[in-house]
Structure 1
């Protein structure tokens, strides 16, 4: 299959799939999701993504229709049906199906899965960023389907010829990007926002922190500001789709680029970890 859509046991090519109009996602965006890359038919960091997925559902009191082990098995089996093993693996659960009512729909949620071909960036080419005040709500640690602020921010970046939008709160605290986490190198230290309710605790963020510690690079999980961002030695953007990007421009002004050796050590180590976890041997379906 070139693409794959799954809904509560039914699956087919994405453009052939339909879902009930009364799925609560249609009325309220009532659900949570997670996603990550696959390479050579092997899904990277699957346990970590599934744990975060179930945690998001729990925080919104959504009843999962499958167990963790069953979902992992299902995803691995669906990946094997694809023409390529290099994929973006996306899954979401919505609260259920019922006539529109703000109060919860009883029963287990609906499970959606989407697979499409995708490659992980090697992170060698720099990206351009713009900034935007973070007007989202105060539960950014839950990976919900309510992404309108991120959609608008991503469109703003696209129209400006940039790849990402950096969010900041009143007072200038940098939180994260429209669909990434953002970090800086300051005096040789990786500085990353704390995993509080203002950011999503990214899986790629966790791998970045672990790699830095393995490389004996100090890590500081503390709030930092726009001023810190503009003055940073290097700016690193991470997500499950792009494990280690770096920025050379913010709001039309040059940024980063002052500790390339350290940046390259981090980038190379993160990519190697990904390659080691998704080897080509025995990748057949």
Structure 2
């Protein structure tokens, strides 16, 4: 049995989905994507994901092929059609490229039809179901060598791929990145949080990091539960001395980090503020 995907208004087996090699998404990484989690058929952060996708499409000057109801319909169809294969913890990947252009040119035609691709895939169950079984992550620390428009969720992810592969080759789960001022930006697939004396802190949004939807929901859920959270510059040294370090993403939710470049974080186990944050997020994520 194979999962069903969506490609340009057609549902078909994922193994049969094909695009032209002249698609600008294939040739240039010229597109936008989103990864949206769902649990028991309930979508997390749909409106926020749509807003970020709309912002990205505008920044790249790509026409949005569907309104929000159209996108939700595609997502729900993929969840329903793949439920037996994938179960109840499912991510949906949405991908819009500028489309196919027969001449390979950095400049693009203004009248291209966007290519729309989506598929569903299994993700881990929510951490909140069994927090005592969550394993902490070991990560590396590296200078951020990516481009300067990381706030756009572009499909051009080679910089992230190279950083992630370097960490993987070193036996780590992820790599946390810092800029030329030794200030933390983000991880290759995640946003970064630290805890200092009970206060939760995360780098402020700018062009160096993605405005993560899970990041947004975590901040809102912490505020909702009267847990102090601040958006401030975090240096690499400050991160190494933090009481707790977390990574957030749609598939990870809130993942505790227990080691950074071989340096133990806290007591080497998921911390008490992480547990409070996980509960707060779980109560808030479907609101």
CA RMSD, Structure 1 to Structure 2 (Å): 1.8
Matched, 1:101 2:111: no
1:34-45 equivalences under 5 Å are: 34-45=34-45
1:61 to partner: Cα distance: 0.7
Deviations 1:136-172 (A, max 9, x none): 1111110001101111111112112211100100120
Deviations 1:57-111 (A, max 9, x none): 1111111222222111221122211123421100010001112121123233111
Q: Which residue of 2 aligns with 1:283?
A: none
Equivalent residue for 1:163, pick from 173, 176, 180: 173
**Matches of 1:180 and 1:260, distance apart in 2:** 19
Q: Which residue of 2 aligns with 1:117?
A: 122
Question: Contact 1:120–1:243 (CA<8 Å) still a contact in 2?
Answer: no
The size of the alignment, in residue pairs, is 276
**Matches of 1:120 and 1:241, distance apart in 2:** 9
**Structure 1 unpaired stretches of 5+:** 279-285
1:23-38 equivalences under 5 Å are: 23-38=23-38
* SS of residue in 2 equivalent to 1:204: helix
Q: Which residue of 1 aligns with 2:273?
A: 262
* SS of residue in 2 equivalent to 1:244: strand
Deviations 1:193-249 (A, max 9, x none): 111111101011011111211222222111110001000010011001011111110
Q: Which residue of 2 aligns with 1:188?
A: 198
* SS of residue in 2 equivalent to 1:120: coil
1:2 to partner: Cα distance: 4.1
Question: Contact 1:185–1:191 (CA<8 Å) still a contact in 2?
Answer: yes
1:261 to partner: Cα distance: 2.2
* SS of residue in 1 equivalent to 2:217: helix
**Matches of 1:263 and 1:114, distance apart in 2:** 31
1:1-285 equivalences under 5 Å are: 2-82=2-82, 83=84, 84-99=87-102, 100-105=104-109, 106-122=111-127, 124-257=134-267, 260-274=271-285, 277=286
* SS of residue in 2 equivalent to 1:111: strand
**Matches of 1:98 and 1:233, distance apart in 2:** 52
**Matches of 2:224 and 2:266, distance apart in 1:** 23
1:120 to partner: Cα distance: 3.5
Question: Contact 2:217–2:284 (CA<8 Å) still a contact in 1?
Answer: no
TM-score (norm 2): 0.91
* SS of residue in 1 equivalent to 2:81: coil
Question: Contact 1:63–1:107 (CA<8 Å) still a contact in 2?
Answer: no
**Matches of 2:2 and 2:279, distance apart in 1:** 30
- Deviates further, 5-14 or 241-250: 5-14
Deviations 1:6-38 (A, max 9, x none): 211122221121111221112101001011211
Q: Which residue of 2 aligns with 1:282?
A: none
**Structure 2 unpaired stretches of 5+:** none
